[in-house]
């Protein structure tokens, strides 16, 4: 083991976390034999995995084992977390993959272990990994895993199409969509912290087309469409005020003048310089993309 590959360890109340060791191989095998049918719903797993993991330990791939302080049954391995795709330079980031093992699964011990893993990941080298950002990718149907991440402070950042080629879940092996979650150093690990998506607001004329391109723009931006074709202008500003991600606001330009729009944005607490005002939206996909990019650029400043 090189200097950079120093063993890592972090102690908690009910668990302790340490870099993988040869002594973990046998208990890991027993842990997997107990838990494999449950885990294989979501992840490939085999009793001899840890032998392969031991040989893969490097500056870009670290395996951390969560141990129970008070073991139950014939092994003490609560779970295993791989920190991989470690990228240095301006990124200082890594991705985690993990499983918890019976009889400890569902007891909160793994969550405690994952918090210790984050502490190690964000501690400066040589006592920790000195990382700035940790990402985890979860199939949307894996609510237990996603709930665990949200409960220890991860934010949901985005939906990723066809991210990993996996089997399990009673389906044939296929490219599976994932939701991407992340936490960065210095962010308080507050449980169920709001996702804090940046707010994006576009105000556009209704134009002649029905349904108009405003729907396509709302889809591109991932925000609701508030249209004066459906609800009153007064209600639009009220709804916009309570919509954290923002909205595409579609208004009839003959009925609502520029001053009324500025007043409405003010009532909705949207600084006018953070909203994109367009007359008529383009109807072609390339035009929609351009408007969406401009709206994001303005919204994010
Ligand atoms: C995901 C997994 C690692 C979680 O381990 P666990 O032992 O169940 O987790 P813990 O008991 O330590 O923590 C559970 C926390 O997750 C959250 N959680 C659990 N079930 C949940 C559900 N159905 N909905 C939302 N959140 C849920 C809760 O916050 C819970 O804490 P609480 O019980 O204090 O409320 C485990 O279920 C597992 O091994 N799954 C199979 C493999 C897998 O999915 N790996 C990850 C692939 S991305």
Question: Six-digit token pair at 266?
Answer: 């003010």
Token pair recorded at residue 149: 């991440």
Architecture of domain 3-184: 3-Layer(aba) Sandwich (3.40)
Give the Cβ contact number of residue 172 at 10 Å.
7
**Separation between Cα atoms, residue 106 and residue 100, nearest integer Å:** 9
Domain ranges of the chain: 3-184, 200-300
pLDDT of residue 211: 66
CB of 100 sitting under 6 A from ligand 1: yes
Atom of ligand 1 nearest to the CA of 151: 29
Q: Closest Cα partner for 116 from 46, 256, 12?
A: 12
The token duo for 221 is 């931006």
In angstroms, the CA 279 to CA 141 distance is 41
Residue 1 has pLDDT above 90, yes or no: no
Q: For position 300, what pLDDT does the model report?
A: 74
Distant-in-sequence contacts of 121-124, Cβ < 8 A, 24+ apart: 121/83, 121/94, 122/185, 122/186
pLDDT digits over 122-152, tens only?
999 999 999 999 999 999 999 999 999 999 9
What are the angstrom distances between the C-alpha of 243 and each of 67, 158, 179? Answer: 43, 18, 22
Nearest 10 degrees: Cα torsion 189, 161, 138, 175: -160
| Any atom of ligand 1 within 6 Å of the Cβ of 77 | no
**The pair of three-digit structure tokens given for residue 180, joined into one six-digit string:** 């991407």
Q: Which residue has the tokens 């102690």?
A: 11
152-174: average pLDDT: 91
Per the prediction, the chain carries an average pLDDT of 93
Q: What is the CATH number of domain 200-300?
A: 3.40.50
pLDDT in tens, 6-49: 899 999 999 999 999 999 999 999 999 999 999 999 999 999 99
pLDDT at residue 216 is higher than 60:
yes
> Does the C-beta of 275 come closer than 6 Å to ligand 1?
no
Please report the sign of the dihedral spanned by the C-alpha atoms of residue 99, residue 101, residue 106, residue 108: negative
Alpha helix segments (H runs only) across 18-174 = 25-39, 49-56, 109-122, 143-151
Distance 193 CA to ligand 1 centre (A): 17
Helices (H), the chain: 25-39, 49-56, 109-122, 143-151, 214-221, 233-241, 258-267, 285-300
The answer, yes or no, to whether residue 50 has pLDDT greater than 70, is yes
Ligand 1 atom nearest to 105, measured from its CA? 7
Gap between the Cα atoms of 133 and 115, Å rounded: 14
CA 147 to ligand 1: nearest atom: 26
Residue ID of nearest Cα to ligand 1 atom 32? 108
Residue 209 has a pLDDT of: 62
């Amino acid at each position: 083991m090189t200097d950079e590959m120093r063993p890592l360890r972090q102690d908690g109340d009910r668990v302790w976390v340490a870099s993988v060791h040869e002594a973990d191989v046998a208990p890991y095998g027993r842990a997997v034999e107990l838990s494999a049918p449950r885990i294989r719903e979501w992840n490939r797993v085999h009793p001899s995995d840890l032998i392969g993991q031991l040989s893969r330990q490097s500056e870009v791939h670290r395996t951390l084992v969560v141990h129970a302080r008070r073991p139950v049954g014939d092994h003490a391995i609560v779970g295993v977390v791989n920190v991989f795709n470690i990228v240095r330079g301006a990124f200082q980031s890594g991705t985690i993959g993990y499983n918890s093992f019976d009889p400890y699964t569902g007891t909160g011990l793994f969550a405690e272990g994952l918090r210790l893993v984050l502490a190690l990941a964000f501690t400066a080298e040589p006592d920790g990994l000195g990382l700035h950002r940790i990402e985890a990718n979860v199939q949307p149907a894996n609510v237990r895993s996603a709930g665990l991440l949200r409960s220890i402070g991860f934010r949901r950042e985005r939906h990723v199409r066809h991210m990993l080629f996996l089997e399990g879940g009673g389906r044939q092996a296929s490219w599976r969509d994932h939701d991407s979650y992340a936490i960065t150093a210095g962010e308080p690990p507050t449980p169920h912290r709001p996702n804090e998506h940046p707010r994006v607001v576009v105000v556009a004329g209704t134009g002649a087309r029905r349904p108009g391109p405003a729907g396509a723009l709302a889809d591109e931006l991932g925000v609701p469409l508030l249209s004066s074709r459906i609800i009153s202008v007064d209600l639009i500003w009220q709804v916009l005020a309570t919509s954290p991600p923002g909205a595409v606001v579609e208004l009839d330009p003959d009925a609502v003048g520029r001053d009324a729009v500025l007043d409405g944005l003010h009532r909705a607490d949207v600084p006018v310089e953070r909203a994109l005002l367009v007359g008529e939206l383009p109807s072609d996909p390339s035009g929609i993309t351009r408007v969406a990019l401009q709206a994001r650029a303005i919204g994010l400043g």
